[in-house]
Amino acid sequence: MLPESLKRARAILENVTPLKTDCGLTCNGLCCRPMEGEMTGMLLFPGEDKYYEGREGYRMTKTDHGTLLICSGRCERADRPLSCRLMPLIPLIRADGVKVATDIRAKTVCPLARQGKDALDPAFVAAVRQVGRILAEDDEQQAFLVTLTRQQDELKALRNQFRRGIHV
């Protein structure tokens, strides 16, 4: 059984997408295609693994960052994990509240992520913000969002170092 906060978050993003049309047409569904030879997947939010336990077509593996859901690249829309529903955005926890940003990890596969959130349907951006606020009310989900925020900050700092030509 999913935690109530995840049920609400997944429901909000059930029918709203980054574009008013099928964004998969932009990149031929690149975000849903497993990368050959690599273990790629989507990071599950705390408690979301319960939804996928024993379900055909899904495999989970523990990583240093949490549970990674690995799939064939095809699923029923209602079965998408929250990370897929949020793609290419991510809610972040900041001192002044929940913010929505482009997920730095998405920029490698999503042309929309490279354009930034201004290129996305405002209803989608608002829905992601609402989801972030709901998750922030749940202590376990909030802690996960704080971890994701820290990771995004670290990735951004690393990217900026390499842009400036400073190599560690």
Whole-model pTM: value is 0.87
pLDDT at 111 (0 to 100): 75
pLDDT at 25 (0 to 100): 61
pLDDT at 123 (0 to 100): 96
Structure tokens at 64: 């240093």
Structure tokens at 57: 């077509």
HSE-up of residue 31 (Cα within 13 Å, Cβ side): 26
Task: Tell me the torsion sign for CA atoms 54, 41, 144, 4.
Answer: negative
Q: Tell me the pLDDT tens digit for each residue of 85-111.
A: 999 999 999 999 999 999 988 887 777
pLDDT at 166 (0 to 100): 61
122-136 and 139-164 are packed helices; what angle lies between their axes, rounded to 10 degrees?
Answer: 120
Cα separation, 65 vs 44, whole angstroms:
10
Residue 72 makes CB contacts below 8 A (sequence gap 6+) with 34, 57
Cα separation, 86 vs 103, whole angstroms:
9
Q: What is the mean pLDDT of the chain?
A: 87
